[in-house]
Structures are given as structure tokens and as C-alpha cells.
Amino acid sequence: MIDVKLLNRNFDEVVARLQKKRVSEELLSQLRDRYLKFKNLKSQLEEAQAEQNRKSKLFQTYIREKKDITNLKKEVSENKKLIAQLSEKVKEAEKLLEELLYSIPNLPHQSVPDGVDENDNVEIAKIGTPRQFQFEPKPHYELGEKLGWLDFERGVKLAKSRFTAIRGMGARLERALINYMLDHNRKCGFDEVSLPIVTNAKSLYGTGQLPKFGEDLFKIEGEELYLIPTAEVTLTNLFADEILKSDDLPIQLTSATPCFRKEAGAGGKDVRGIIRQHQFYKVELVAITKPEESYQMLDKMVECVSSLLSNLGLPHRKVELCGGDLGFSASKTVDIEVWIPSQNRYREISSISNTEDFQARRAKIRYRDGKKNRLVHTLNGSSLAVGRTLVAIMENFQNENGEIEIPKVLERYL
């Protein structure tokens, strides 16, 4: 979450910065009011508590000196009522404050370009050149069905739409990709971990999926548990409520997991093929750094992902997201988009974000900097969305007969 003290002190600055994310001044003004109200009530409560403590201590001496305590008792029980009333009010005020605070997105970094949606994103680099086809390239779903790699009907039979059965060489290729990606990420300095793929509400609050985006999560019936929408949640929350040692930073982790998303509101988008599924494998990168090192880490992560695509021989580009397209928790995001021949355009295959201290504040991830405890910065990025990588390989490396050439780097994984 954002720093409410910063909002209180530098209101205009925060308003200006959050304008990029189209957060209204009214909302922020309301937030500030709630904060001030909470603060005010809280100090009233604390004053009453201090009074209570002072009086309570008198009992000992009164009793020792055999003084009458009936009056004192009366005073104290009066004050007790006041405390009860005030703490109710404080609780209420705090709840109102937190409700709002938890739903305000992160401040974008100063360098984030202005803009409304993805059309305003800024291309920063193009790597590789899209191949010139001597024939009409087929979409992956046609290739996949013909090859027996993608069985859409049977996937739907097992679950519902947007679930797919991947078979034969398709399944083997998926597994090879995961292994290749993990090995690559390890060379970039990211330690492999294996974590639960279900997680609790607290963790989802920590990384910002809750409270605002609950409708996109699969919840397990009868449990306070959800299927993870991304390993970012578990990887980052691994250190929730901890104070890390300065020497332990940066922490760099990678993990391959299935991800589950309801894709609420994506109705009609990418209905054919496996670009947008309810379940997909993703290899994730997460880094936890000191504040002054986080942007260096962002660059490093972008390079790690870009080189992965280059090694696979896939043309791609780096795009800097504009304010309007920036995610809830992100301060700055670089998307990596891969060339999809059948659509004749680049599509997102990775999204790498620095959330600065936004998630750290929510999840209470700190480190000891000399004598002080400071919030860390957290970063996350896909490396890569496996299903979409499979799509890219199929489409980019297809021949006229509908066969797929396997990238050389994957050979030893098959």
C-alpha cells in the first residue's frame, strides 16, 4: 500500500503522481480525512489508557497505606467505559481507513510515461526480426489440433472452456520449456524453489491481489485458500512479517507453477487457442532488494528474460507501460512481447515490475539497515509464460506442412 504519512504530508505530490493511474483527488482526499480521523481518535484513546495505567498503579500504594480505595475504584471504572467507547470508535475508523488504503494503487515511478491504455505504451527495444513467411502462417490452435498437441474439446470435457489438454510432443515441449527456463534463470542468479500452489487470503493481500481482484481468483470451497494466480504471491510472501539481514539481500528466486485465473472480464478475448487459459504454467522470477538497488534489479530481470527469448530464437520487443496500463501494485513495469505471426503483431509473454515498497509495506517485509529497519523493494516478472511460449514456438517455427521445428537449445531437454 502507499505510505499514508506521505499522503498526509505531501498531499499534492501524491495526487499528481496518482493522476497517472487515474485515481481521483476526491478519493485521496477522503483517504486523508479517514487517516486524520483515525489518528485523532487513536490519540484520545491513548490518553485515556495512560490515565487508566496511572490510576491502576495507585492501588498498590493505597492498599499498602491502608487508604480507602472506593473513590479510586469509581474513577477508574468511569474511565474504563470511556476507553471501551473510544476503542470501538478507533476500530471503526481503522477499518474504514484500511478498506480505502488497501484499494489505492501504487504510486508510479517518475519516469513512467503518461497514457490511458496499452496504445500509449512506449516501445524501448526490438530484438530479432520477424520471419518472412513464403506461405500463410497458421495460428497455433490449427497447428496444434492437426499435430495432436492441443486437444481443446477434451480439455473442456474435463473442466470447462479455457482449459486444454496438451498431449504428445506438445506436452513434452511444455515440460522441456519449463526445465530450460529454470536452468536459464538459475544462471541469471535466481534460486529455484517449489512452493504451495494454494495460498491464504493474507498472502494475497500482501501482494495486492486482494481485496480488489478477488473475482479473478479460484477459491477453494470451505477453506480460506485460493489457487495462486501467479507464483509472485507465494514467492514474495515467503518473507512476509520478517526482518531480513542486510547481507541476505538481494534475494532472487524462481519457481515453475501452474497459475489459475478466472479471467473475469476477459469475455470474448482470445477465445481460440491457449493464449488465455484458466490454467497455465508460468516460470516466475521474484527479487527482494534494498531500495537503492531495485531499479538495477529490474534491468537485470528484463535482460534475463530477453536473453531467454533470444536463445529460443523468438523475435520480441520491450515495452514500457504507461501509467494507465500499469498494474495495481506496480511502480514501473516493462512488458516483453513476443512476435505472433498469425496475428501479425507482438503479444505479451512477460511482465516485469518493480513494486518498490508497496508490497513490502503490505506484507511487512523489512531488512535491518544498521540500527534501523527499512522496507525492502520487491520485484516480480514472468520468465516466461510457458503456454504463450509454446504458442510462439509453434507459430514462428512452423513450416508449410504444419510441422514445427524445435529450437536447438531445447534439444537436450527432450
Q: How far apart are CA 106 and CA 356, in angstroms?
A: 9
Block residue for cell numbers 531500495:
291
DSSP-derived pairing of the beta strands 332-340 and 316-320: antiparallel
Q: Is 300 in the site for RNA (CB under 7 A)?
A: no
Please identify which residue in 6, 16, 116, 243 interacts with RNA, judged by CB under 7 A: 243
Q: Is 71 in the site for RNA (CB under 7 A)?
A: no
Please identify which residue in 47, 123, 248, 405 interacts with RNA, judged by CB under 7 A: 47
Q: Is 388 a catalytic residue?
A: yes
Of the candidates 255, 294, 350, 351, the residue annotated as catalytic is 351
Q: Is 246 in the site for RNA (CB under 7 A)?
A: no
Beta carbon nearer to RNA, 77 or 110: 77
Q: How many CB atoms lie within 10 A of CB 249?
A: 17
Q: Footprint of RNA on residues 392-411 (CB under 7 A)? A: none
Q: Is 292 a catalytic residue?
A: no
Q: Is 49 in the site for RNA (CB under 7 A)?
A: yes
Please identify which residue in 34, 261, 278, 366 interacts with RNA, judged by CB under 7 A: 366
Q: Is 54 a catalytic residue?
A: no
Q: What type of residue sits at position 280?
A: F
Of the candidates 276, 347, 368, 374, the residue annotated as catalytic is 276
Binding residues with RNA: total (CB under 7 A): 26
Q: Is 92 in the site for RNA (CB under 7 A)?
A: no
Please identify which residue in 22, 67, 73, 412 interacts with RNA, judged by CB under 7 A: 73
Beta carbon nearer to RNA, 5 or 22: 5
Q: Is 348 a catalytic residue?
A: yes
Q: Is 261 a catalytic residue?
A: yes
Q: Determine the interface stretch with RNA among 111-119, 137-145, 154-162, 365-373 (rule: CB under 7 A).
A: 365-373
Instruction: Tell me the catalytic residues.
Output: 261, 276, 348, 351, 388
Residues that bind RNA (CB under 7 A): 5, 39, 42-43, 45-47, 49-50, 52-57, 59-60, 63, 73, 76-77, 80, 243, 366, 371, 373
